[in-house]
Amino acid sequence: MSFLRGLRCRECGTLYPVDALFVCDECFGPLEAHYDETARNAHVTRASIAQGPRTLWRYHDFLPSEYTPRVDLSDGWTPLIRAHNLGRELGLRNLYLKNDTVNPTFSFKDRVVSVAAAKALEFNLPALACASTGNLAGSVAAHAARAGLPSYVFIPADLEPAKIQSAAIYGATVVAVDGDYDQANRLATEAAETYGWGFVNINLRPYYAEGSKTLAYEVAEQLGWRAPDCVIAPVASGALYTKINRGFEELYEANLISGPLPKMIGAQAAGCAPVATAFGKSTREIVPVKPRSLAKSLAIGNPADGRYAIDAARKSGGGIFSIPENAIAQGMALLARTEGIFGETASGVTVSVLKKLADARAIDPDETVVAYLTGNGLKTREVIENVAHTRIDTAPNLESFQEQFEPRVFVVA
């Protein structure tokens, strides 16, 4: 059952009914899902969760919607993998990877969209829509198709072609905006006021954001109901990072795990690192930037939840850090070569920040560390076109192959 009781302003605490609202009339603060936490914590057990489906909906008691099979593409419940090889490379003995590249549309966005789509149906909204850096567009389009709704996705026109195509195939109307993500987002915010559509990351945002908490629930359950010592996740708007933190807090409050709660590490790339910059300057006021990063899924120059991400970093004893742009592809290659997982640019950023901290001995080698891999590399192939690799060109016969191959293998004196 859902223990949702309404929406509440994060800044001033004003309460609102359950509806497609996202901003406080009083102070313009963000609205968040508000639950009867006492009733929920008395109700939910490890056993009640285990009875649920093997999707993120097994945690519906912590979500703002009932389980809605009509929108569930088997979202979430992705593998948590022990990373011996990458761990050896980085000097971390207990490293795990949460592999969200294998979600139905190949990114963690399926978690948030699944919840938002359920609310769109509940509110009887005529269409599903979003502003997107790409991954979200595909997920919205797919879930709208399953729910039988039309979809409209607002994207920067210069997005990777694979990301545009992987929204279009589901029948979405692609609105290609001549501008960056922040400008596409601004247009979508105005469109949300003009049309009655369910914009998952605008007027459905209080519900949508809750889906990211399942990344914490699953990791804890997969570790045998235990919190890791440290987690690392990419930071774009800061919503994912903030909600992972909230997810661990909720499990602790419900007595499903014991403390201490994980240190929260956030990862950005230098081409768009407003949150890491603010963290480094010990302020929570984010100065917006014009994104110039290869990691387009993280290229949000005006991050709505940046200040809350910084709060979570400080409170948990973690931090938010950036790596140079040339470390993005290096991180992708390191991950793929050591663990056989082809993550997208955001995963390259995450792995490279983890490497930077491990190299600096900022993480204890014996700590249990979980790195969140949030999207699939096939959508961002452009950035690895020039990755160093071994290639042998040969005629279709053994002699030619040997001629080309053997000089590389045997050192000729």
Q: Which parts of this chain interact with other proteins (CB under 8 A)?
A: 11, 22-25, 27-30, 131, 179, 181-183, 185-186, 188-190, 192-193, 199, 201-202, 205, 209, 236-240, 285, 287-288, 290, 300, 302-305, 307
In the bound state with other proteins, the residue whose beta carbon lies nearer, of 121 and 304, is 304
d(CA 68, CA 295): 33
Alpha-carbon distances, residue 189 vs 22, 184, 396 (angstroms)? 11, 9, 57
Please report which helix (H) or strand (E) contains residue 152, including its range.
strand 151-156
Q: In whole angstroms, how close is the CB of 357 to other proteins at the nearest point?
A: 24
Q: In whole angstroms, how close is the CB of 63 to other proteins at the nearest point?
A: 18
Q: Contact at 8 Å (CB) between 244 and 275? A: no
Please report which helix (H) or strand (E) contains residue 34, including its range.
strand 31-35
Q: In whole angstroms, how close is the CB of 133 to other proteins at the nearest point?
A: 9
Residue 321, classed as helix, strand or coil, is strand
d(CA 373, CA 350): 8
In the bound state with other proteins, the residue whose beta carbon lies nearer, of 178 and 406, is 178
In the bound state with other proteins, the residue whose beta carbon lies nearer, of 287 and 395, is 287
In the bound state with other proteins, the residue whose beta carbon lies nearer, of 87 and 238, is 238
Q: In whole angstroms, how close is the CB of 288 to other proteins at the nearest point?
A: 6
In the bound state with other proteins, the residue whose beta carbon lies nearer, of 214 and 302, is 302
The partner residues of 9 in beta bridges, in order of sequence, read 31
In the bound state with other proteins, the residue whose beta carbon lies nearer, of 194 and 282, is 194
In the bound state with other proteins, the residue whose beta carbon lies nearer, of 272 and 329, is 272
Q: In whole angstroms, how close is the CB of 77 to other proteins at the nearest point?
A: 23
Q: In whole angstroms, how close is the CB of 47 to other proteins at the nearest point?
A: 34
What is the rounded radius of gyration, in angstroms, for the C-alpha atoms of the chain? 22
Strands of 222-377, DSSP E: 230-234, 263-269, 319-323, 368-373
DSSP H helices, 107-238, are: 109-122, 135-147, 161-168, 181-194, 205-208, 214-222
What's the helix, strand, coil split of the chain in %, to 5? 45, 15, 40
What residues have CB less than 8 Å from 120, skipping those under 6 apart? 128, 147, 149, 198, 200, 204
In the bound state with other proteins, the residue whose beta carbon lies nearer, of 64 and 87, is 64
Q: In whole angstroms, how close is the CB of 262 to other proteins at the nearest point?
A: 21
Q: Which of 196, 154, 162 is nearest to 178 (CA)?
A: 154
Q: In whole angstroms, how close is the CB of 306 to other proteins at the nearest point?
A: 10
In the bound state with other proteins, the residue whose beta carbon lies nearer, of 16 and 252, is 16
| Burial profile 92-119: b = 16 or more Cβ within 10 angstroms, e = fewer | bebbbbbbbbebbbbbbbbbbbbbbbbb
In the bound state with other proteins, the residue whose beta carbon lies nearer, of 173 and 189, is 189
Query: Which amino acid is located at 96 in the chain?
Result: Y
Q: Which of 107, 353, 330 is nearest to 230 (CA)?
A: 353
Q: In whole angstroms, how close is the CB of 142 to other proteins at the nearest point?
A: 19
- In the 8-state DSSP scheme, what is residue 298? G
Q: In whole angstroms, how close is the CB of 363 to other proteins at the nearest point?
A: 26
Q: Give the number of other CB atoms < 10 A from CB of residue 366.
A: 10
